[in-house]
Structure 1
Amino acid sequence: MNKMEELKNVSCKETKTLRGGEKEMDKLPADSLEAYDEKYAKGYGLQYPDGHVIRFYERVLKHELKLTKGKILDFGCGNGIHSKYFMDHGFECYGVDIIPEAICQGQKFMGEHAVLIEPNQSLKKFFHKDQFDIVFANQSLYYMNNSDLKKCVDELYEFAKPGGICFFTMMSRLNCYANLIEEEYDNGLSKVVLKNRLRETTYINFVSNPEELEQIFRPFETLHIGCYDLFSFLSSEDEDGCSHHYIYIGTKK
Structure 2
Amino acid sequence: MERELISHLAHGDHPIAAPVSESELVRLLTRAALPPRARILDLGCGEGAWLTRALTLHPDATADGVDLSESGLAAAAEEAGRRGVADRLRLHRTPAADYRGAEPYDLVLSVGATHAFGGLAPTLAAVRDHLRPSSGLALVGEGFWERPPTAELLTVLGAEPDEYADLAGTVERMEAAGYAVIHGHTSTLDEWDEYEWSWTGTLTRWALAHPGPDGDAALAAAREHRQMWLRGYRGVLGFVTLLLHQAPPTG
The whole-number CA distance in structure 2 between the counterparts of 1:222 and 1:74 is 19
Decide whether the 8 Å contact of 1:171 with 1:205 is kept in 2: no
By how many angstroms is 1:113 displaced? 1.1
Q: Deviations over 1:34-54 (max 9, x none)?
A: 312344157636346733211
- In the alignment, which of 106, 123, 130 is matched to residue 76 of structure 2? 106
- Aligned CA RMSD, in angstroms, stands at 3.5
Pair 86,226 (structure 1): closer, same or farther in 2 beyond 3 Å? closer
The whole-number CA distance in structure 2 between the counterparts of 1:42 and 1:166 is 27
Who is 1:247 aligned against?
Answer: 241
Is 1:71 the counterpart of 2:39 in the alignment?
A: yes
Q: Deviations over 1:110-156 (max 9, x none)?
A: 577111123x63223xx14x61110112221256534xx43332121
Who is 1:122 aligned against?
Answer: 98
By how many angstroms is 1:238 displaced? 5.0
Which residue identity does 1:83 align to in structure 2? Answer: L
Decide whether the 8 Å contact of 2:28 with 2:184 is kept in 1: no
Secondary structure of 2:166's match? coil
Identity of aligned residues (%): 9
Is 1:135 the counterpart of 2:108 in the alignment?
A: yes
Who is 1:219 aligned against?
Answer: 178
Q: Provide the TM-score with structure 2 as the length reference.
A: 0.62
Pair 150,172 (structure 1): closer, same or farther in 2 beyond 3 Å? closer
Aligned length: 192
What residue ranges of structure 2 are gaps of 5+ in the alignment? Answer: 81-85, 195-225
Who is 1:17 aligned against?
Answer: none
Which residue identity does 1:152 align to in structure 2? Answer: T
By how many angstroms is 1:70 displaced? 0.7
Which residue identity does 2:181 align to in structure 1? Answer: T
The whole-number CA distance in structure 2 between the counterparts of 1:143 and 1:174 is 23
Who is 2:123 aligned against?
Answer: 152
The whole-number CA distance in structure 2 between the counterparts of 1:153 and 1:248 is 12
Identify the structure with bigger relative contact order (alpha carbons < 8 Å, sequence gap 6+): 2
Decide which structure has greater strand share: 1
Who is 1:206 aligned against?
Answer: 164
Decide which structure has greater helix share: 2
What residue ranges of structure 1 are gaps of 5+ in the alignment? Answer: 1-30, 185-189, 193-203
